[in-house]
Chains A and B, each alone.
Chain A
Amino acid sequence: MRIVYYNCQGVPVAGIAAAIRTGRLPDDRAPKASELSDLPFIHRRSAFVFYGADKGNNAVYGLWCKADRKLVQRFFHVRCQLYGEEKWDLKPVDHIPNTAALKFFWHFWRAGAWFDLGCFHKTMMACYPHLLKSALEDS
């Protein structure tokens, strides 16, 4: 089965949830700032990234972009129609606390403000329990 964590607010929290699920980020402690910054495509405004396989050998992807949530779900349906693929398991990663602050610091960091990695990391830590819950439910 293929699992996609997606976020339609254009913040890479879906990538972080996918990384937790596949074991790239720890689920028993808070990750370091460098562990966050080393994640693939984490600085991109929109991406669809394969993160690896989880414990149940499911392929796990992260998708984030600014879009209408309903349309993203429809696009996956279209993808299944076009490519003849089996249904994707879509897991929304939204209603994240501190989204505005997270977005703010993340944009500063991707713009090259190195000191903002610390702020982004700190804000991310505030919502990390929420992401852990999203990533590990029914795993």
Chain B
Amino acid sequence: MAASLHTGLFCGGLPENRNLFGLPLFNTQDGDSRGKLHLYGIDENGNRVYVIGRSRDADALTLVLSRATKDDAAGDVLLINALPCVTLLLRIGGFICCRLKLHRLGRPLVAAGLRQAYRCLKELVYRVKVEIAG
């Protein structure tokens, strides 16, 4: 959802549930997709926005990606941790959907959790954009 906000997939307020579940990669991830990089889109400044699930191994991801070489052709990589915005409801809903595959039960929880997390994610994206702008 943070990537959707960043790439401007929804610019208005919080989308309806059916639009939420229509977002790319949304609720289609399972345990095996952790650690895989997905190109989500490109923002208005031409920055590529990726999504990666890192489970509880934030430390490993930061360590591995932190040592960028100076002659790095890809440019700067900014790692944004969206986990602080994730609410308990979202965690439970995500677990039920992605791990237990009980979508009918999990989706309403995910949607409710996202509504709780929306403001935080919006603020996060705003701060990231400010940081990018320098």
Contacts and interface: CB of A to CB of B under 8 A. Distances in A.
Contacts of A72: 57, 60, 64
B88 to A, nearest CB: 23
Contacts of A50: 67
A108 interface: no
Contacts of B54: 71, 75
B72 A83 contact: yes
B55 A63 contact: no
Given A46-B59, A71-B54, A74-B35, A63 B69 contact: no
Contacts of B64: 48, 63, 72, 75-76, 78-79
B80 to A, nearest CB: 14
Interface string B37-50: 10000000000001
Contacts of B66: 48
A47 B63 contact: yes
A128 B64 CA distance: 26
Contacts of B63: 46-48, 63, 65
Interface of A: 8, 46-48, 50, 63, 65-68, 70-72, 74-76, 78-79, 81-85
26 contacts: A8-B60, A47-B63, A48-B63, A48-B67, A65-B59, A65-B60, A66-B57, A67-B59, A71-B35, A71-B54, A71-B60, A71-B61, A72-B64, A74-B34, A74-B36, A75-B35, A75-B64, A75-B65, A78-B35, A78-B65, A81-B37, A82-B74, A82-B77, A83-B68, A83-B73, A84-B74
Interface of B: 34-37, 50, 52, 54-55, 57, 59-61, 63-69, 72-74, 77
